[in-house]
């Protein structure tokens, strides 16, 4: 049997960690994977020696993948294979300039959406009936397959606090929490790990790097999962990374979350950070009950097999048994994609 070919199309370094569990599942089936890196914000140095990189659209055409996977919101529609939306994170409630939830915006780019759990599946199923040119299958998120593996942790004699933040000036907690974190990391109560979105302004990154001591480590990585596994409590804002942490059944303290729910300990005063972390470390039963309900709605899959479900969903679309309408051509968006890729052929 001829090996199937798949393509991973990425533009950010965090996409490596999202797609590698899927790559493992593809290779385990005896099929092939290639990577295409688009833009200047993704670093080819993160590719391993045994990972194949395609360097041009012409090479993609020659490679002729059955499916192209995108951990992104938009995608070119002029490449071979079906376009599969994997998502680069969870729905964090962020809205666009018109007040619409950006997570559920249909941009006429994808043939298949692999959703993460009931809270995202149902809205996309409603949209699928409206648009009729894409399939929606609830698979769980392939990026989390490794999340549920038992980590090999060194013994730690004090609780570990993970501080994460989005880069958006309006939503980021990092500038607001700097002084209080500076004070708390001197107290020798907790071990601090700090990791920010790759687009975080360099001046803020440098601020936190200046705090590094025996109690605080600043980490730059394309793979946040080991940090999530190590930490006992997360401090965050509205970044969707907090959702991944909650899925491990661990508490999150947020600063001015845009839509705080009962599964978060949200504060709007930096002076409350210390006592809120203390409360989170106690894992109050009511809070943990809310977190469990959140997990069931958001990502009820802890078996580590979401990548396999994604591939099965792709096979269902490729089988030709589904009746999908042709995607509308978004002339402006696809023109911009062609211009970015410098590709004008049909």
Average pLDDT per block of 10 residues along the chain, 346 residues long = 93 93 97 96 95 96 97 93 94 70 86 96 95 96 91 74 94 97 96 93 96 96 89 95 95 95 97 98 98 97 97 94 81 88 83
CB 226 within 8 A of CB 254: no
Q: At what angle do helices 15-28 and 306-318 cross, to 10 degrees?
A: 70
| Whole-structure pTM value | 0.84
pLDDT score at 63 = 98
> Can you tell me the distance from the alpha carbon of 235 to that of 336, in angstroms, rounded to the nearest whole number?
38
pLDDT score at 92 = 66
pLDDT score at 322 = 76
> Can you tell me the distance from the alpha carbon of 278 to that of 276, in angstroms, rounded to the nearest whole number?
5
Full DSSP string of 277-293? HHHHHT--HHHHHHHHH
User: Which residues of the chain does CATH 3.40.50.2000 include?
Assistant: 160-298
Residues in the chain: 346
Question: Rounded to a whole number, what is the distance in angstroms from the first to the last CA of the chain?
Answer: 30
Question: What count of other Cβ atoms lies within 10 Å of the Cβ of residue 106?
Answer: 16
Q: Read off φ and ψ for residue 48, nearest 5 degrees.
A: -90, 165
pLDDT score at 154 = 56
From 3.40.50.10490, 3.40.50.620, 3.40.50.2000, 3.40.1160.10, which CATH number describes the 160-298 domain?
3.40.50.2000
> Can you tell me the distance from the alpha carbon of 299 to that of 21, in angstroms, rounded to the nearest whole number?
17
From 3.40.1130, 2.60.40, 1.10.3470, 3.40.50, which CATH number describes the 5-146+304-341 domain?
3.40.50
pLDDT score at 156 = 66
């Amino acid at each position: 049997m001829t090996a199937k070919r798949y393509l991973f199309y990425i533009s950010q370094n965090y996409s490596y960690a999202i797609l590698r569990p899927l790559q493992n599942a593809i290779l385990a089936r005896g099929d092939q994977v290639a990577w295409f890196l688009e833009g200047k914000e993704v670093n080819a140095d993160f590719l391993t020696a045994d990972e194949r990189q395609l360097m041009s659209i012409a090479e993609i055409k020659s490679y002729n993948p059955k499916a192209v996977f995108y951990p992104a919101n938009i995608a070119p529609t002029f490449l071979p294979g079906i376009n599969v939306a994997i998502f680069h994170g969870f729905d964090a409630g962020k809205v666009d300039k018109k007040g619409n939830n950006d997570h559920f915006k249909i941009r006429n780019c994808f043939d298949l959406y692999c959703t993460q759990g009931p809270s995202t599946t149902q809205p996309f199923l409603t949209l699928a009936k409206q648009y009729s040119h894409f399939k929606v299958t609830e698979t769980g998120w392939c990026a989390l397959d490794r999340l549920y593996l038992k980590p090999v942790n060194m013994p730690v004699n004090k609780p570990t606090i993970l501080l994460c933040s989005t880069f958006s000036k309006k939503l980021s907690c990092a500038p607001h929490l700097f002084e209080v974190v500076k004070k708390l990391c001197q107290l020798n109560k907790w071990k601090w790990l700090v990791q920010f979105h790759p687009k975080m302004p360099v001046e803020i990154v440098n601020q936190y790097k200046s705090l590094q001591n025996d109690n605080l480590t600043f980490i730059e990585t394309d793979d946040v999962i080991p940090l999530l596994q190590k930490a006992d409590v997360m401090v965050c804002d509205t970044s969707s990374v907090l959702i991944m942490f909650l899925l491990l059944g661990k508490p999150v303290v947020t600063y001015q979350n845009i839509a705080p729910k009962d599964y978060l300990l949200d504060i709007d005063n930096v002076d409350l950070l210390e006592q809120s972390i203390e409360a989170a470390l106690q894992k109050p039963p009511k809070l943990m009950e809310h977190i469990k309900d959140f997990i069931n709605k958001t990502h009820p899959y802890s078996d580590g097999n979401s990548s396999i479900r994604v591939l099965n969903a792709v096979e269902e679309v490729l089988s030709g048994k589904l009746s999908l309408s042709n995607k509308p051509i978004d002339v402006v968006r696809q023109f911009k994609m062609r211009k970015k890729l410098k590709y004008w052929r049909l």
